[in-house]
Amino acid sequence: MDLGLNGRTFVVTAASSGLGLAGAQALAAEGANIVMVARRAETLAELADGIGEHARPMAGDLTDPGTPRRAVKTALEAFGGIDGALVSVGGPSAGSVLGTDDQTYRDAVESVMLPAVRVAREVVAERPDARLAFVLSSSARSPLPAMAPSNATRGGLAMLVSQLADEIGPQGGRAVGLMPGTIATPRIAQLHGSGHQGSRAATEGPIPLGRLGQPEEFGAVAAFMLSDRASYITGSLIPVDGGALRVP
């Protein structure tokens, strides 16, 4: 199936590893141009070189309010336009609802919600009919144990995605949220190692498909949702979780 992504241009954040990298690779494989944004300049440059002519690295911290504008400017200068973004942001610290202090909650808003809103603001300012996909989590629908900062901010961002879809829809823009379950990324390995999500075997048990997802499986969904073939899908939250989410 031709996804109609050839020659399109997207900003992809948190693109040096995990789900952001998987999305960037999937988009580039379909012929899209990508501006890869992440903090680790050397790693990012190596990954962009591996992808080839469709990729441009841009080192930047998403907690810096100026980073999204720089990313859009890089897309315009390198590829002559911008069509949308795949917005992946940092993972907040683990913690219980009552045992998490005020500053940790503030940090979660600064690392999850505000960067995503800023990227959307800058992309839509340049391209009112932009295609935007936000990497959320299954916690946007069902809370994860001991992950209160993530549960609060991912759920809040999910509601903003739905409202954003209403706001940009009249101009032809689309916004969707992607809800990965447990995907085999470095962050998940870190959480398993710290004990915050139990062992890998315990995590796999309740998943109907009986295994963790692979990053490339998530990347394929992200590319499709940003493509011409998903042109009548907006405001939706799409689970990519092997059937684990048990709520509508």
Task: Transcribe 102-154 into DSSP letters.
Answer: HHHHHHHIIIIIHHHHHHHHHHHHH-TT-EEEEE--GGGTSPPTTBHHHHHHH
The answer, yes or no, to whether residue 195 has pLDDT greater than 80, is no
Percent of the chain residues topping a pLDDT of 70: 93
Mean pLDDT of 159-164: 97
Residue 244 lies in a domain: no
Q: What is the rounded CA–CA span in Å between residue 146 and residue 61? A: 26
Residue 246 lies in a domain: no
Residue 81 lies in a domain: yes
Nearest residue to 23 (alpha-carbon basis) of 168, 204, 222, 247: 222
In this structure, of 134-148, 188-202, 234-248, the range with the lowest mean pLDDT score is 188-202
pLDDT tier at 176, thresholds 50, 70, 90: very high
Q: What is the CA radius of gyration of the chain?
A: 17
Nearest residue to 217 (alpha-carbon basis) of 240, 234, 201: 240
Q: What is the rounded CA–CA span in Å between residue 45 and residue 64? A: 20
Residue 247 lies in a domain: no
Mean pLDDT of 172-197: 77
Q: What is the rounded CA–CA span in Å between residue 179 and residue 140? A: 7
pLDDT tier at 206, thresholds 50, 70, 90: confident
Q: Which domain holds residue 231?
A: 9-237
The kind and range of the H/E element at 59 are strand 55-59
The confidence score (pLDDT) of residue 185 equals 81
Nearest residue to 154 (alpha-carbon basis) of 175, 132, 187, 177: 177
Q: Would strands 174-180 and 84-87 be described as parallel, antiparallel, or unpaired?
A: unpaired
- CATH code: domain of residue 81: 3.40.50.720
pLDDT tier at 56, thresholds 50, 70, 90: very high
Residue 220 lies in a domain: yes
Please write the tens of the pLDDT for every residue from 75-113: 999 999 999 999 999 888 899 999 999 999 999 999 999
The answer, yes or no, to whether residue 196 has pLDDT greater than 70, is no
In this structure, of 114-128, 129-143, 144-158, 201-215, the range with the lowest mean pLDDT score is 201-215
List all residues 6 or more positions away from 222 whose beta carbon is below 8 Å from its beta carbon.
19, 22, 23, 26, 27, 86, 133, 135, 178
pLDDT tier at 191, thresholds 50, 70, 90: low
Q: What is the rounded CA–CA span in Å between residue 24 and residue 133? A: 12
Residue 2 lies in a domain: no
Residue 243 lies in a domain: no
Q: What is the rounded CA–CA span in Å between residue 153 and residue 21? A: 22
The answer, yes or no, to whether residue 168 has pLDDT greater than 80, is yes
Full-model pTM: 0.92
The answer, yes or no, to whether residue 192 has pLDDT greater than 90, is no
Domain count, the chain: 1
Mean pLDDT of 118-137: 97
Residue 58 lies in a domain: yes
Mean pLDDT of 147-159: 94
In this structure, of 22-36, 182-196, 226-240, the range with the lowest mean pLDDT score is 182-196
The answer, yes or no, to whether residue 15 has pLDDT greater than 80, is yes
Coil, strand or helix: which one is 167? helix
